[in-house]
């Protein structure tokens, strides 16, 4: 198997994606762009464990399904992590909506690693089966993650209450925040351009902000420095 070059709507700062765990994600987010692409239940693709991950790459591991979702067995995740550890000269991004589960695995051998979670809004909605926002924040604040590189992605951004939303994100102490929009017309409740501008201004007081090209439907883009 080969390492996939970053393309499409992927983060601009990522050079590659790699997915050893594939298939239907149990979080079942209404807006998930992968939903129509999964052809099987979640599984470990053993062939991927032979992929040369190279060096000097910035790899988003688990970009096609949430590899830390509760129904993914520990053993599969451990095998994926062990494979990454064989290629220590890369930077790895691990992102999940079940960030509490990060604490169940040993990341101590990784030299360059970023832990990420998604927080689309501060408001409650019933758009997925994933852990509540408060649990995602809690998982990103466990003691063992203090001082580690962290990121938050606000994608797809949904309408929010500025003060509460910023507070949620600030607690995590992310090195950078990514903001992106729904690119598939899921009719989500979306904020105005003015509110997005206010959010960016507040976030920039304590972190870097990376705007994804798909945000341009909602906000005139002024691309920020990527991490």
Residues binding ligand SF4 (CB under 6 A):
25, 27-29, 32, 34, 65-66, 97, 128, 130
**Which of residues 130 and 210 has its CB atom nearest to ligand SF4 in the complex?**
130
**Which of residues 33 and 197 has its CB atom nearest to ligand SF4 in the complex?**
33
> Backbone dihedral region of 11: left (phi > 0), alpha (psi from -120 to 50 degrees) or beta?
beta
Looking at beta carbons, which pairs linking 141-147 to residues 24 or more positions away fall under 8 Å?
Answer: 141/171, 141/172, 142/100, 142/102, 142/103, 144/103, 145/102, 145/115
Rounded to 5 degrees, what are φ and ψ at 152?
-125, 135
CB of 150 to ligand SF4, least distance (A): 18
CB of 130 to ligand SF4, least distance (A): 6
**Which of residues 25 and 202 has its CB atom nearest to ligand SF4 in the complex?**
25
**Which of residues 97 and 195 has its CB atom nearest to ligand SF4 in the complex?**
97
CB of 178 to ligand SF4, least distance (A): 14
CB of 23 to ligand SF4, least distance (A): 10
Q: Closest by alpha carbon to 162, among 125, 194, 129?
A: 194
């Amino acid at each position: 198997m080969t390492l996939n070059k970053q393309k499409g709507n992927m983060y601009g700062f990522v050079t590659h994606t790699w997915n050893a765990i594939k298939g239907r994600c149990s979080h079942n987010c209404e807006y998930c762009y992968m939903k129509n692409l999964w052809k099987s239940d979640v599984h470990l693709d053993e062939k991927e464990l032979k992929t040369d991950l190279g060096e000097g790459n910035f790899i988003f591991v688990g970009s096609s399904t949430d590899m830390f979702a509760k129904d993914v067995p520990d053993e599969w995740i451990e095998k994926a992590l062990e494979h990454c550890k064989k290629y220590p000269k890369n930077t790895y991004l691990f992102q999940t909506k079940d960030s509490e589960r990060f604490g169940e695995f040993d990341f101590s051998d990784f030299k360059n690693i970023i832990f990420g979670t998604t927080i689309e809004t501060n408001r409650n909605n019933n758009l997925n089966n994933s852990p509540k926002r408060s649990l995602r924040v809690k998982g990103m604040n466990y003691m063992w993650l203090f001082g580690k590189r962290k990121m938050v992605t606000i994608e797809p951004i949904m309408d929010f209450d500025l003060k509460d939303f910023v507070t949620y994100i600030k607690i995590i102490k992310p090195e950078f925040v990514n903001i992106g929009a729904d690119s598939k017309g899921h009719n989500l409740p979306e904020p105005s351009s003015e509110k997005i501008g206010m959010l960016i201004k507040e976030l920039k007081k304590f972190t870097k902000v990376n705007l994804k090209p798909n945000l341009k439907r909602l906000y005139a883009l002024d691309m920020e420095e990527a991490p």
